[in-house]
Chain A
Amino acid sequence: MAALTPISRKPLSLVIPCIAGAGGLLGLFVGTANGSGLLGIVIGAALVSLMGLFFIFVLKNETTAKWISILFVAGLGFLFGGVPGVILGAIFGWLFHWFIYWTYEGRYRARLLPYLTPGQVLWHYTFLFICGAIFVFLITPILVVMPLSFNAQDFFTFTPEMLRLDPEGYSLKHYRDFFTNNEWQRSFKNSLIIAPIATIISVSLGTLAAIGLSQSHVPGRRAIMAILISPMIVPLIISATGMFFFYSQIGNWLEGTLGFNKTFVGYVKVVLAHAVLGIPFVIITVTATLVGFDRSLTRAAANMGANPVTTFFRVQMPLILPGVISGGLFAFITSFDEVVVVLFVGSASQKTLPWQMFTGLREQISPTILAVATILVVISIGLLTVVEMLRRRSERLRGMSPS
């Protein structure tokens, strides 16, 4: 990024107020929980400042300081909060040590441009803090779900045993339920069959149409666009009932006239319904990517003798691929997380995961749905990490430095 900024130690007049403030903040919480907030602030500020002075003037060894800080605050945590207190305390201990050295050594400037004013530095870190808070907002619900999925009870409740970190309060029974219960397994499989096929349909048809739409002279472009994104606009419950009639007729025709198997026809109905719902996302993403697409490239390709199909796959496709992929992602999620339409269009043998979750929530609150969510989160973290690693590897192989 920027040139390395030389760092220098900061005066105590800056360091002490900062670390005292951090200590005071924790002290405030512990203090109010135990009766007096004011006393908490004073004690917290004093303890952390003393710790800072001790590290700076006496100890002078950062690794030892780290362990002292962790153990010391964890010990305090134990006094106030038992076992969970130890864990929280250890985390805060590590934070304090890090914060003391970060301010004292002036490390906070290391990655910033050298000419920034203190105000800009402060704003930079405030901004980072705000972003961090938003990321916490995004991710907390998922973090809450994970421990609850190990609940020994059949409720979405943090039991006292769980809060004490008592092993009695935890169990794997909801995971067992997911892996042994036929209903869950079947619905999981159904989702894995339906979502990818629906995505492929909406991505392939959607990309073609988006390319058509991006040509310069399309009669009635606005009207066509409005029609194509209408599945996103109509309230789902109306779509669901409306589609039900149509797909029943399609189903009758496929079964009666063409003699297809009933289960197969059931899948066809759900896949078609989900494909339609995914189309607006593909259309919008791909047309957006095509707006910035340099058309002289296709002309150049044609000039050099490529036929339209070759041009599409060798020139256009690689360039608009990011848009296609994110459109496909939206379409996949639309199908994978869709419950209203499948409730109407599907029948028992096409029960998808969201449907099973929906009945699970309504008929018996069962943390199995949390276990499923946790498993899905772990799988997707895994997938995303693998993709990222592959991307970095290919960049390395191509001799590019990671940008």
Chain B
Amino acid sequence: MSDTTQSGPVLAADGTPLKRSLHRALRIQKLRALMLIAPLLAFVLLTFIVPIGQMLFRSVENDIVANTLPKTVIALQDWDAASGQAPDEAVFAALAADLYVASNEKTHTRVGSRLNYETPGISSLFRKAGRKAKKWDVENDGPFKEQFIKIDDGWADPDVWRTIQTYSPKYTNGYFLNAADMQKGADGAEIRPESERIYITLFKRTLIMSLIITGACIVLAYPVAWILANLPSAKANLLMILVLLPFWTSLLVRTSAWKVMLQQQGVINDTLVWLGLVADDARLVMINNQLGTIIAMTHILLPFMILPMYSVMQTINPSYLRAAKSMGATNWTAFWRVYFPLSVPGIGAGSILVFILAIGYYITPELVGGTKGVFISNRIAFHISTSLNWGLAAALGTILLAVVLILYWAYDKIVGIDNVKLG
């Protein structure tokens, strides 16, 4: 080739320069790939990412105070929270004017319950004051300071006013501080008293227990996947039914079944007592604690580990092992140096699946976890459906999501997401 010194570009069959032709082909290929991806990407973006984004945005959104109490927010700007005194009449008059409007639109209680998340008692202050304020003549009924304090002396408490002032801006980091067991104190962020710290403990517990569950799944799934991959397919398919059956059974049913088995008057304890291995008055405690959560969740997530491992192991040629042994390797060396490295992508895929699924679980921990076996998702669910503190739920969810994304990123760096095999 070297001696064919041609001037001008290499031409493709149709006479266009090869470089351009290749470029065009590449562009077409890219375009075709994108067109294949586009419908799904649009679908997921629209039906999932946008709604989740909206939901997570609530973790910083805080326009309710400024929108409902516009005059008060402005009047409060000059008040010095460190003075230890309730603000003066001007602020109370502004509040009266705001409350008059708000109570007629029935939005005053909404602000009350928003601020009540930060300082208990504010909810009823607003509820009581709103009832009176509805009938006030804002122009002439003043001065209002005494009237407010007469309704409830909580209005004289500078803490209440400090809370209103702190949460005046339209955006807040308050929810994230709460989610990290902190609060907005008089001088910026501060750690909560020990009796109220819970979220960091829960985050740690969620991570540690998810890791334990993932580990347990690896240990249990590996031999099963191995035997499925190495048996003749007729037998393997029969055994596969045993793996798939639990998968087909509702999560709720399996969780209840574990309750029936693990409790102190349950099947396992009864059997052990009947066999005489455990005394009747010393039955094992296996549920309503971390052990219960680990057992039940390992069982529920095990198929997610077995199936990807199985599909990877199926592709490993058994003759590799035989070759290793024929060259003098012991059973263990042959396995550890030859088979195991080949099966790592399966372990990786299974682990990431199981770990991510475990970290977001809440129904099973709720039912079998007792007090020490519940996850952060349980608190998220509580704040969504019971306390209505969606901002805090969104903040907790955002942190959880960030943790998962970091892990996902690390996994991608170490193993590579393309190596994930699942089926």
Interface residues of A (CB under 8 A from B): 1, 29, 31-34, 37, 120, 123, 127-128, 130-131, 134-135, 137-142, 144-145, 148, 156-158, 205-206, 208-209, 211-213, 215-219, 222, 224-228, 230-239, 241-247, 272-273, 275-276, 279, 281, 283-289, 291-292, 322-323, 325-327, 330, 333, 337, 339-340, 353-354, 357-358, 361, 369-370, 372-373, 376-377, 380-381, 384-385, 388, 391-392, 402-403
Q: Enumerate chain A residues within 8 angstroms of B276, measured Cβ to Cβ.
A: 29, 31-34, 37
Which residue of B is nearest A320, CB measured? B423
Kindly identify, within residues 215 to 270 of chain B, every residue whose CB is under 8 Å from any CB belonging to chain A: 220, 223-224, 227, 232-234, 237-239, 241-254, 256-261, 267, 270
Closest to A35 in B: B276
| Selected contact of B39 from candidates A156, A205, A217, A234, CB within 8 Å | A205
CB-CB under 8 A from A385, the residues of chain B are: 241
Residues of B within 8 A of A219 (CB): 30, 34
List, in ascending order, chain B residues with CB within 8 A of A238's CB: 52, 55-56, 380, 384, 393-394, 397, 401
User: Is there an interface contact between B380 and A235, defined as CB atoms closer than 8 Å?
Assistant: yes
B48 to A239, Cβ gap below 8 A?
yes
B261 touches A140 (CB 8 A): yes
The reply to whether B248 and A377 contact each other, CB–CB distance below 8 Å, is yes
Contact B331 A120 (CB under 8 A): yes
CB of B257 to closest CB in A, whole Å:
4
In angstroms, Cα B260 to Cα A142, docked, is 11
* Residues of A close to B12: CB separation below 8 A: none
Please tell me if the beta carbons of A326 and B423 are within 8 angstroms of each other in the complex.
Answer: yes
Residue of B nearest to A326 (CB): B423
Q: Is the CB of A272 within 8 A of B47?
A: yes
Query: Using Cβ atoms and an 8 Å threshold, which residues of chain B touch A384?
Result: 241, 244
Closest to A1 in B: B232
Is A139 in contact with B249, judged by CB distance below 8 angstroms? no
* A242–B250 touching, CB < 8 Å: no
Contact indicator B356/A233 (Cβ below 8 Å): yes
- Give 8 new A-B contacts, CB below 8 A, not counting A134-B223, A235-B400: A138-B224, A138-B246, A208-B40, A239-B48, A242-B56, A245-B55, A326-B311, A330-B422
User: B40 to A205, Cβ gap below 8 A?
Assistant: yes
Instruction: Determine the distance from Cα of A377 to Cα of B267 in the docked complex, in whole angstroms.
Output: 21
Q: Which of A216, A237, A246, A391 contacts B51 (CB 8 A)?
A: A246
**Residues from chain A with Cβ under 8 Å of B420 in the complex:** 284, 287-288
What are 18 residue pairs bridging A and B, where the CB atoms are less than 8 Å apart in the complex? Answer: A32-B277, A141-B254, A218-B33, A225-B417, A235-B362, A238-B55, A238-B401, A241-B384, A244-B51, A279-B40, A284-B422, A288-B420, A339-B252, A340-B362, A354-B250, A372-B253, A385-B241, A392-B234
Evaluate contact between B275 and A285: CB separation under 8 angstroms. Answer: no
**Residue B126 is within 8 A (CB to CB) of chain A in the complex:** no
Q: Are A209 and B245 in contact (CB under 8 A)?
A: no
Interface string of B285-326 (1 = CB under 8 A from A): 000000000000001001000011001000100000000000
**Distance between Cα atoms of A37 and B275 in the complex (Å):** 10
Complex Cα gap A222–B411 (Å): 12
Chain A residues within an 8 Å CB radius of B220 = 134, 137
Cα A53 to Cα B250 in complex, Å, equals 50
- B417 nearest in chain A by CB position: A225
Are A402 and B234 neighbours in the complex by a CB distance under 8 Å? yes
Set of chain B residues within 8 Å of A373, measured between Cβ atoms: 249-250, 253
Q: Are A233 and B404 in contact (CB under 8 A)?
A: yes
Given A33-B275, A211-B36, A238-B393, do A217 and B29 touch, yes or no (CB 8 Å)? Answer: yes
Q: Chain B CB within 10 Å — which of A206, A284, A402 has the most?
A: A284
Instruction: List CB contacts (< 8 Å) of B379-412 with chain A.
Output: 380-381, 384-385, 390, 393-394, 397, 400-401, 404-405, 408, 412
Interface residues on B, range: 35 or more
Check B50 for interface membership: any CB of A closer than 8 A: yes
Complex Cα distance A287/B49, Å? Answer: 21
B404 touches A212 (CB 8 A): no
Residue of A at shortest CB range from B397? A238
Check B223–A141 contact: CB distance below 8 A: no
**Interface SS, A side:** helix
Residues of A within 8 A of B158 (CB): none
Selected contact of A285 from candidates B224, B237, B401, B422, CB within 8 Å: B422
Which of B35, B251, B259, B422 has a CB less than 8 Å from the CB of A337?
B251
A138, A230, A291, A292: which contacts B302 (Cβ < 8 A)?
A138
By the criterion CB–CB under 8 Å, are B36 and A208 in contact?
Answer: yes
Closest to B412 in A: A222
Given A134-B223, A373-B253: A237 in contact with B380 (beta carbons within 8 A): yes
Partner of A241, one of B55, B247, B405: B55
Q: How far is the CB of B112 from chain A (nearest CB, A)?
A: 22
Also in contact, A156 and B43, with CB within 8 A (given A1-B232, A135-B242, A361-B252): no
By a CB distance below 8 angstroms, the chain B residues around A322 are 423
Asked if B390 and A241 make an inter-chain contact with CB atoms under 8 angstroms apart, the answer reads yes
Does any Cβ of A come within 8 Å of B93's Cβ? no
Q: How far is the CB of A238 from chain B (nearest CB, A)?
A: 4
Chain B: CB-nearest residue to A218:
B33
The answer on a CB contact under 8 Å between B223 and A127 is yes
Given A138-B242, A288-B422, A381-B245, is A213 in contact with B356 using a C-beta cutoff of 8 Å? no
Q: Are A337 and B250 in contact (CB under 8 A)?
A: yes
In the bound complex, CA of A236 to CA of B397 (Å)? 10
Q: B82 interface residue, CB < 8 Å from A?
A: no
Which of A148, A212, A216, A370 is within 8 Å of B37, CB to CB? A212
Identify which of B252, B404, B408 contacts A357 (C-beta below 8 A): B252
A391 to B276: give the CA distance in the assembly, Å.
48
Q: How far is the CA of A131 from the CA of B223 in the complex (A)?
A: 6
**CA of A224 to CA of B419 in the docked complex: distance in angstroms?**
16
Question: CA A236 – CA B274 in complex, angstroms?
Answer: 42
Interface residues of B in 141-157 (CB under 8 A from A): none
Whether A139 touches B422, Cβ cut-off 8 Å, given contacts A156-B260, A236-B360, A403-B232, is: no
Contacts of B307 in A (CB 8 A): 326
In the bound assembly, the distance between CA atoms of A1 and B318 in angstroms comes to 12
In the complex, what distance in Å separates the CA atom of A232 from the CA atom of B360?
Answer: 9
**Interface pair A381/B241, CB less than 8 Å apart:** yes
Query: Is the Cβ of B251 less than 8 Å from the Cβ of A208?
Result: no
Report Cα–Cα, A325/B422, bound state, in Å.
11
Whether the pair B32, A353 counts as a contact (CB closer than 8 A) is no
Task: Given the known inter-chain contacts A235-B377, A403-B233, please indicate yes or no for A380 contacting B245, CB distance below 8 A.
Answer: yes
Given A222-B417, A326-B307, residue A228 in contact with residue B41 (CB < 8 A) = yes
B256 touches A369 (CB 8 A): yes
In order of increasing CB-CB distance, the 8 nearest A-B pairs are A32-B276, A212-B36, A326-B423, A242-B55, A285-B423, A141-B257, A209-B40, A246-B51
- The distance in angstroms between the C-alpha atoms of A148 and B254, with both chains bound, is 13
- Distance (whole angstroms) from the CB of B358 to the closest CB of chain A: 11
Distance (whole angstroms) from the CB of B346 to the closest CB of chain A: 10
Across-interface contacts of A231 in B (CB, < 8 A): 44, 48
Shortest CB–CB separation between residue A313 and chain B, in angstroms? 15
Partner of B311, one of A208, A276, A288, A380: A288
Complex alpha-carbon distance, A381 and B418, angstroms: 34
The reply to whether the CB of B421 lies closer than 8 angstroms to some CB of chain A is yes
Separation of A245 and B247 alpha carbons in the complex (Å): 31
Task: Knowing A226-B408, A370-B253 are in contact, say whether A234-B360 is a contact too (CB < 8 A).
Answer: yes
A138 to B224, CA, bound (A): 11
In the complex, B334 has a CB within 8 A of chain A: no
Residues of chain B lying within 8 A (CB to CB) of residue A148? 260
A389 to chain B, nearest CB (A): 10
